[in-house]
Structure 1
Amino acid sequence: MKKRFILRFAVAMGAAALAIGTNMSISKAQAASESSVTVNLPDDYKEEISFVKEDIPHVIWYKGSKPSNKPTVMKNSSASSGGDQTVATGNINKDKVPNFITKKSTIKFDVTENDKSYKLQTKKVTLKVNKKKGSIEFYKRGEKKPIFTQNAPFIEDSNVVTSLKVTNDAAKYFGGGMQNGSYDHTGNVIKIENLNDWLDRGVSSPTPFVWSNVGFGVLNNTYTKGQYDFQDPTNVIFSFLDSKADNYYIIASKPQKILKSYFSLTGKPLLLPKFAWYPAHLNAYNRDTWIEVTADSAGARKFEDGKYYKEYQPINPKSFNVNRPDKIKVNGEYFVPSIRRGTGEVTFVKDSAGNYHTRKESLNGEKDNYQFSARQIIDRYKKNNTPLGWFLPNDGYGAGYGQTKSLDKNIDNLREFSEFAAKNGVKTGLWTQENLHPKNPKKPKADERDFKKEVQKAHVAAIKTDVAWVGDGYQAGIGALRDAAHYMVKYGNNERPFALTVDGWAGTQKYGAVWTGDQTGGTWENIGYQIPTYIGSSLSGLSNVGADIDGIYEGGKPIIQTRDLQWKSFTPIQLNMDGWGSENKTPFTFGGRYADINRFYLKLKSQLLPYMYSAAYRNTFEGIPLLKPVVYNSDLKIAKRPDLTHEFLIGDDILVAPIYKDTQVDVNGNDVRHNIYLPGKSTTWIDYFTGKEYAGNQVVNHFAAPLWKTPVFIRKGAIIPENNPNNNPSEIDQTTQYVNIYPDKKSSSTVVYDDDGVSEDYLKDDYVKTKIDSSQESGSTVINISKTKGNFEGFVPNKKTVIRLKINQAPKKVLVNGKELAASSYKFEAKHQIQTFSNDRELSNIFDGSWLTINIPIRNVKTTELKVEVVQ
């Protein structure tokens, strides 16, 4: 049986004694090794100190008997509705309390004492427990100055309050989850509370985890609401509605090490399946009825038959539409307009007998209503040559996914749709408004859910947890994700369990992605505060982040919709949340050049997937955030520069500065962007769309941004792996290895990661990695592509290689593994035209400078290295 050290504080006398279980004492010079110590404080309070890793001390402050290891839950955890009547109406089980901290084991550490303190040491960290005050100083081992001192916690207004005295007054603070409109919390107070508030300064997915650039992070093991107060960077105060302080401290010098340790406690982020990187389309296709109207009617939509229709919902308490205005009666049934906002005059088209012309939606067009079906939407994406990766054809709220009187037959209907979608390279997901299973499994109702069969028989590959189900947040939200993941893993044919959620918490990252909630489109403000929201979410360990393109509500402004889609094409999740806005929410709603520009950016994202996927791998396994501030680097040099909240890096080499406001926009959407900070005194940045070079460590103003162009820069020296442009993962050319290189005087290197993009086999090391190096030597550019290491099912080792090299003049010759390559196998273009998939005059005349393209014949990438020398 393990012994526990007990440090007994005689606070009044200023003295203490140390014993090991029995009355045996330890001299000052002698070290003892154990797995925990307990500090006795006045009034029966105690602090238990242990280490789960050499750089992760765990401090629990409590009164009386030691509490459970489980996180505390609030007695009254009623959800804040944020004004949404649907929130937390799905009857979720809040009694389950899953542990979100999965690592509980401890390691041994050394304990010594002197007159003033007890010293607890691992190889990496030293803690000094003050004998008089009960405070704890935290040091990196070997350093003389503490990083911070934790004062003894206390209870105030039913909250447990902990304060940290931080020694470095340059400390900055990050984390806290998805804090809308903010990522650098220095000088502010942030709420760790489930608010269901999706607007600027709201909280979409809180996490009780923060970290500082001075080398530490804090994770609080609680399901209670609280806050972090960073108003004084040297005196951090955090409080939670809890009776104990259960604090894990991560001591590390680099942010990725802090985040990697955080993931070791709460779970590695899911590496998103490849389909999730493509746009999703979401709507309900099994509930509403379309009624023919005149073209000038409010909410009229033109369909393939050339006629105009308006969408109506049958009145149903499950749809939360009983009190919606503009009720009409059609064929004995009452309906209301499906669009929440924007009503107006409607003229119905009737036959000679006065009957309405109506068609009910469906998934498969099984009611002679194909143009109102979910299948038709997939056809529209194909017709518009627009990427689409996944499709959610229901939203709960009375929609379901079949129109029979049998749940099993409705599941068959869902299966038929999933199979149709799969033939078109698209995965199927479902919204989740309420219970995953029938109340009575032996007698299920037709409008209930059976998630096991949905996954096993209908091939559901994704789940979106709506606020009606997870709106309670905290333990209920994590429990819902855990339950969904369980069924997807067990019955999903080894596919990755992918969930999209709001109201997250620490640990959410291992189940999928978070989105920013239900927001209103058609406003610049919506773009403006989402950019720092994404950055802050990523710095909190929630890098799998996304939002509705142009919001779920309103919209109708094509310039803003296009600008929103552009920057989100450099982020993981893009959602076309259709059915609630003033216009359809698709990339091609506004047609013409708007649709062309949107297609161009979505195709570009499909090209860049290998780069983004490799960066996502590093986030999952190395703790390097996928999205980060432009001045972030491995040495924690995060500083303030002009307007850093409205630009970001994805990976290390692509900088995006979105158009997020009307600076001097003209009627065609052309604008300029000011305050673009390009970091790095010795770094050069290249305009992705023109090839123009810009020196780092400067602010760029008056940057021309015609409607087609969002400012995007590539770090000179970057090695960018690519795909062929495509519309979904099934169209990726597996027989060609593509790489773009922007050579610099300094040598550069990257590792390209790949796996099957679908299964969980990557967790069993079923993946491949390819190291690529670039350098300039004596007037030549040398590229080394190492042998690909590893394997996964379906990997194609025999590949062509296409290298695109950003150089200014044609080469004298090109050598491949020492042999001169035929001139017909490479091509230099002084003015290279970007493929935009458009006949628009402006879009078809975009040139990104001079490039050399080298085509290398098929080789086995696992057995053959490549050394390519471009002699100039």
Structure 2
Amino acid sequence: MTADLQNSRHQLGRLVGVNKRENYYELHYATGEIARVYLIANGIFRYWLDPSQEFAETNDMLVKGIEPDPQCFARATAHATSDMFIITTGSCKLIFQQKTGSFSIFDESVHRPRMVQASALELSGKHSIEILKQGKNEYYYGGGVQNGHFSHKGEKITIKTDGITGADGVLAAVPFFWTNAGFAELRNTTATGHYDFGRQNSQLTILSHRTPVFDSYYIIGNSPQELLSSFYYLTGKPFMLPSYALSFGHIGNFLDGSWQEADGKGHEAVRFEDNRYYSRKTENSGRLPSLNGEQDYQFSARAMLDRYQRWGFPLSWIIPNYESQTAAKPDDFAAFASYAQSRNCHPGFWSEKGQPLAHHSEFAAVDDPSSDLTAVNSDLAKENPKAKPLTLVRDSLLPYQSQAALAFGDVSGDWSSIKTQISTLLGAGLSGLPFIGAAAGGKHGQENAQVAVRDLEWKTFTPLFFAIDDQSPLSKTPFAFNNKVSRIMKAYLGLREQLKPYLYALSRQAQDGLPLVRPLLMSFPHEQVGYGRDFADEFMLGDQLLVAPIVNGKSDNRGLSVRDRIYLPDKQTVWIDLFTGDRLMGGRVYNRRKYPLWQLPVFVRGGSIFDLGSRRFVLYPQGDATISTYSDNDQSDYKHNSAQTVIRTHVADSKLRVIIEPTTGYYPNMAIKEQTFLYIYCDQHPDEIQLRAGDEEVVTLTEYGTPETLQRAKEGFYYDNKFCWPEGFKDLGATPRPALIIKLQERDIKQEKLEILVNNFRFANEQLIHQITDAALPLPGKVEVDLDKISAHSLTVKWAQRTPSVQIELNGLLYTGISGNIFTFTDLAANTGYRLRLRYEAGYKVSEWSDLLQVKTKRDPRDFIISNVKVTSNQESASGHQLKNLLDRRMATDWQSTGKPSEDQPLTLTFSFPDQTELNKLIYVPRASSRDGRPLRMRVEISTDGENFTSYGTDYQFKSDCKNKVIGLRGGSAKAVRLSILETTGDYATASGIDFYRPLK
């Protein structure tokens, strides 16, 4: 009977007995299963149910060799009641229900359950399923690199790496998730899983894996940082990047391919040193790339290094044999590596399918996700014993954070791809994978210069920053476009260098559970709006910078990009535009903000302090703020050789106090005696600046009239009316603004505490003045929602215009920057109720609010996609682009034919429905990453019996763009539909998907 139960799908039976063993509790169930409960550490528990009852570590486990803390087990107590067995450890009670066989965790410190199973485990010979109760305001994160997703409430994700980089692909699956309830779970298996976070039932979370063994680690913590830190306790802390890895890198292939002369008219044509244009072709032209330029120097990897240096673009690292089909000769690579190092560029080696690393490799990139990363890092350590090893992967089957960083490039160069990648990077960090980056411009596509610039701009603020070249006809170097674009890209590469000390400190924080790229919820945990997907197209870099990338081509009549829906959190915070100094109050959503091509929307949090290195600091004082700088010897022994400096600021009563504590820690060759420079943004000239250094008397600093005289002085300050940081943007249009430049003489930084007092200090104080309700302003008139323009994700509001601008409150969130008499809210949740009201705005004065309006968005159109459709074709599909991809509703996958359709030989796709089905429309989604294969002309035929077809309308013609192709089928019903593709761009047909919709009712 027990064997039958274990092989068939059944629910875990009631709890019938418990034994206390040497270092675990053993639980016996009526259905014959035995489970073990281990108390691993404070807030970490393991529940292990093995149907074989062998409890042996196997190869499909993620976590091995973790021993439970004996002290934790010794301090725990256990007792049984009439209906439950309870283990008490610390503040947590592990409660096992006797009758139902379910399990929950109650935390006395917060007086509530952290996790509750809705029912007992469901088990079979192939699967194990856990069902948890889901709170109304409980949000879910994790799962690995789930492309285009970071907050999963109401969604279903797959725990299986597919190596696909586009939307809905899974680049690196991790069977780990956590919730804002302070609970996380790590399933100890490599088996495929599916996590339903409320899509099927909004009150349940359903977690399944294709394994009969249920082995799960449960983690309790009061913050995301605590939960991620405990995850690292089990799987290993993230490795520490070498500092060069934070600068711009180039990945290319200088061993394969060839170049042919071109006319220079297209973006694919590259101008070389001989003043001629060339484009990369598949056929052999005799001009072969190489590492060292033995045949044609200008096509070599050496020439690329010289190109970056000659044109003034900083380049820190390079991989010259990426995805090469030709093996790099050891001597050739060694010669190139030596040349790169002489140019202060670090050479890396691309290792495919376990190929040994070349001599002189400073770091490695591996193709095979199953590669032994420990062995790769060991080889690097042998090559460079003192250096931090660096290994790059492009997908993974395991939590790889302790051994590698993820760098990928298979992303399309279009607007939608930018939004996808932002959420992808956020989700990776929340899954314990903080070091990740996507190639600027991707590997393919991106003919549009505006998209290229906007993509590189926001990626300046991501963990890894690099370009992948030579993988498509289009060049992806930052100097591939015209001079105007190159100047912008050069400025952002320079900005990246200025941010390196900040990024390096964030890299150290990542080891303790704080990712570099963070969603708003991590920096502003008390604001619920940051927990969902409402503002998934913006992010924090650390706690000091908010980045809101340009994610579409919307522009005004002057060509300025228009950015809506920038949410700046916390109404007590002033946010400062990094490039113009504009000050904006927090706690609002800003709309219709306009940005020239060179300017990315980046905002500095009031109170921020940026370490520029060499004891130089930029300050944006507001209230009380504290930072800790970090530096080390950039070698593998950094854990015992590092230094930190705490800096505090306090603003009150028109006085600014800056305290720089003595530096703690040490590493070889660390400078002990250094000058200190402070660059303090301010609004007016101060009365005086006083300094106390250590136990010395307070002194008043001398003011100097020019930067040159201050430079020659030992100590003092200069009031600069036209200070501009970051450097490199003044000529592009950045706004210079007043700042104090304070120079302090050389002192022992480990011994001396510095206290600076600035009197008559003002900065952004007026920004926090609350707006005044003015009875003289008229009440809002004719406020209404346009019922004809309500969709699943948008709604439009109209009003009588009596002031130039208005404010609208939507579900309690204030939207500002709205002018005219009409405004459309976008990116709303489908089938969701919204409450809104409006008030007029005139400077700091506002009117009374209008009455509340209530409206509900429509259902998501995806709810009306017909399921269980089957498709056949009269033509074979290209390898890796299967026909089934048309119907999987994943934009990351696509279908491609093997031949070119024509009028005489059309490509036919026949779609069969389970039953006679009423139709509304079909949507053909072209592949965005390439112009080839897009449909230009199609024909539709309908069948009511699945065998005989009749034409539906005339031939449909389309433009060769990547917009969805919609064919209305309203009023029709069919058992099958035949779609004939008669003409396409290129030599084949492609699609990311084809969906059929039933009528929207």
Pairwise CA distance, 1:373: 1.1
Pairwise CA distance, 1:191: 0.7
Asked if 2 retains the 8 angstrom alpha-carbon contact of 1:102 and 1:266, the reply is: no
Asked if 2 retains the 8 angstrom alpha-carbon contact of 1:291 and 1:311, the reply is: yes
Pairwise CA distance, 1:539: 0.9
Distance 1:665 1:496 in 2: 48
Pairwise CA distance, 1:671: 0.8
Pairwise CA distance, 1:286: 2.2
Distance 1:258 1:58 in 2: 15
Distance 1:653 1:13 in 2: 52
Matching residue of 2:236: 267
Matching residue of 2:752: 864
Distance 2:38 2:673 in 1: 52
What amino acid is aligned across from residue 461 of structure 1 in structure 2? E
| Structure of greater relative contact order (alpha carbons < 8 Å, 6+ residues apart) | 1
Pairwise CA distance, 1:294: 4.9
Distance 1:786 1:864 in 2: 7
Closer/same/farther in 2, CA of residues 648 and 634 from structure 1, 3 Å limit: closer
Closer/same/farther in 2, CA of residues 46 and 188 from structure 1, 3 Å limit: same
The one of 218, 232, 236 equivalent to 1:249 is: 218
Distance 1:20 1:219 in 2: 24
What amino acid is aligned across from residue 379 of structure 1 in structure 2? D
Q: How does 1:207-226 map to 2 (within 5 A)?
A: 207-226=174-193
Matching residue of 1:365: 293
Closer/same/farther in 2, CA of residues 102 and 424 from structure 1, 3 Å limit: farther
Distance 1:797 1:533 in 2: 42
2:681 matches 1:803: no
Distance 2:612 2:170 in 1: 35
The one of 567, 579, 584 equivalent to 1:677 is: 567
2:12 matches 1:44: no
Deviates more, 1:579-588 or 1:283-292: 283-292
Which SS does the other structure have where 1:623 is aligned? coil
Asked if 2 retains the 8 angstrom alpha-carbon contact of 1:363 and 1:373, the reply is: yes
Deviates more, 1:137-146 or 1:205-214: 137-146
The one of 604, 608, 611 equivalent to 1:714 is: 604
Which SS does the other structure have where 1:148 is aligned? strand
Pairwise CA distance, 1:159: 1.9
The one of 612, 619, 629 equivalent to 1:752 is: 629
Root mean square deviation, CA, Å: 2.4
Give unmatched runs, 5+ long, in structure 2: 1-10, 693-697, 705-715, 761-1001
Closer/same/farther in 2, CA of residues 143 and 660 from structure 1, 3 Å limit: closer
Which SS does the other structure have where 2:603 is aligned? strand
Which SS does the other structure have where 2:615 is aligned? strand
Matching residue of 2:535: 644
Matching residue of 2:130: 162
What amino acid is aligned across from residue 633 of structure 1 in structure 2? S
2:646 matches 1:788: no
Pairwise CA distance, 1:835: 6.0
Runs of 4+ with deviation above 6 angstroms: 11-15
Asked if 1 retains the 8 angstrom alpha-carbon contact of 2:646 and 2:660, the reply is: yes
Distance 1:518 1:646 in 2: 20
Distance 1:494 1:571 in 2: 27
Asked if 2 retains the 8 angstrom alpha-carbon contact of 1:596 and 1:837, the reply is: no
Closer/same/farther in 2, CA of residues 666 and 570 from structure 1, 3 Å limit: farther
Which SS does the other structure have where 1:565 is aligned? helix
Distance 1:844 1:160 in 2: 59
The one of 514, 520, 523 equivalent to 1:630 is: 520
Closer/same/farther in 2, CA of residues 845 and 130 from structure 1, 3 Å limit: closer
Identity of aligned pairs, percent?
28
Give unmatched runs, 5+ long, in structure 1: 1-10, 22-33, 74-98, 314-327, 329-334, 336-355, 402-409, 437-449, 471-475, 724-735
Closer/same/farther in 2, CA of residues 292 and 812 from structure 1, 3 Å limit: same
Pairwise CA distance, 1:52: 0.8
2:387 matches 1:495: yes
Pairwise CA distance, 1:657: 0.3
Distance 1:128 1:300 in 2: 67
2:310 matches 1:378: no
Distance 2:78 2:739 in 1: 63
**Which has the higher Rg, Structure 1 or Structure 2?**
2
Asked if 2 retains the 8 angstrom alpha-carbon contact of 1:755 and 1:768, the reply is: yes
Matching residue of 1:822: 702
Matching residue of 1:843: 731
Which SS does the other structure have where 1:520 is aligned? coil
Pairwise CA distance, 1:435: 2.1
What amino acid is aligned across from residue 536 of structure 1 in structure 2? G
Distance 1:50 1:398 in 2: 49
Distance 1:370 1:780 in 2: 61
Matching residue of 1:420: 339
Closer/same/farther in 2, CA of residues 576 and 297 from structure 1, 3 Å limit: closer
Q: How does 1:545-694 map to 2 (within 5 A)?
A: 545-620=436-511, 622-633=512-523, 635=525, 637-639=527-529, 643-664=534-555, 670-694=560-584
Pairwise CA distance, 1:690: 1.5
Asked if 1 retains the 8 angstrom alpha-carbon contact of 2:18 and 2:25, the reply is: no
| 1:794-828 deviation digits (Å, cap 9, x = unpaired) | 32222221101111111222222221222123222
Asked if 1 retains the 8 angstrom alpha-carbon contact of 2:184 and 2:218, the reply is: yes
Q: How does 1:86-105 map to 2 (within 5 A)?
A: 99-101=62-64, 103-105=66-68
Distance 1:606 1:434 in 2: 34
Which SS does the other structure have where 2:131 is aligned? strand
The alignment of Structure 1 onto Structure 2 pairs a total of residues equal to 726
Distance 2:162 2:266 in 1: 38
Asked if 2 retains the 8 angstrom alpha-carbon contact of 1:381 and 1:388, the reply is: yes
Closer/same/farther in 2, CA of residues 530 and 743 from structure 1, 3 Å limit: same
What amino acid is aligned across from residue 768 of structure 1 in structure 2? A
The one of 450, 458, 463 equivalent to 2:364 is: 463
Distance 1:542 1:704 in 2: 34
What amino acid is aligned across from residue 54 of structure 2 in structure 1? K
Asked if 2 retains the 8 angstrom alpha-carbon contact of 1:642 and 1:699, the reply is: no
Q: How does 1:383-394 map to 2 (within 5 A)?
A: 383-394=310-321
Closer/same/farther in 2, CA of residues 831 and 38 from structure 1, 3 Å limit: same
| 1:477-504 deviation digits (Å, cap 9, x = unpaired) | xx53232122223433222221221322
Distance 2:439 2:110 in 1: 48
Asked if 1 retains the 8 angstrom alpha-carbon contact of 2:155 and 2:197, the reply is: yes
Which SS does the other structure have where 2:379 is aligned? helix
Distance 1:13 1:238 in 2: 19
Matching residue of 2:828: none
Matching residue of 2:44: 56
Distance 1:616 1:666 in 2: 42
Matching residue of 1:737: 615
What amino acid is aligned across from residue 398 of structure 1 in structure 2? Q
Closer/same/farther in 2, CA of residues 716 and 361 from structure 1, 3 Å limit: same
What amino acid is aligned across from residue 68 of structure 2 in structure 1? S
Pairwise CA distance, 1:643: 4.1
Asked if 1 retains the 8 angstrom alpha-carbon contact of 2:172 and 2:398, the reply is: no
Distance 2:513 2:749 in 1: 28
Pairwise CA distance, 1:178: 0.8
Closer/same/farther in 2, CA of residues 508 and 638 from structure 1, 3 Å limit: farther
Distance 1:250 1:835 in 2: 42
Pairwise CA distance, 1:505: 4.0
Which SS does the other structure have where 1:533 is aligned? helix
What amino acid is aligned across from residue 399 of structure 1 in structure 2? T
Distance 2:303 2:13 in 1: 81
Asked if 2 retains the 8 angstrom alpha-carbon contact of 1:708 and 1:843, the reply is: no
Which SS does the other structure have where 1:595 is aligned? helix
Distance 2:547 2:229 in 1: 25
Closer/same/farther in 2, CA of residues 706 and 248 from structure 1, 3 Å limit: same
Distance 2:454 2:265 in 1: 28
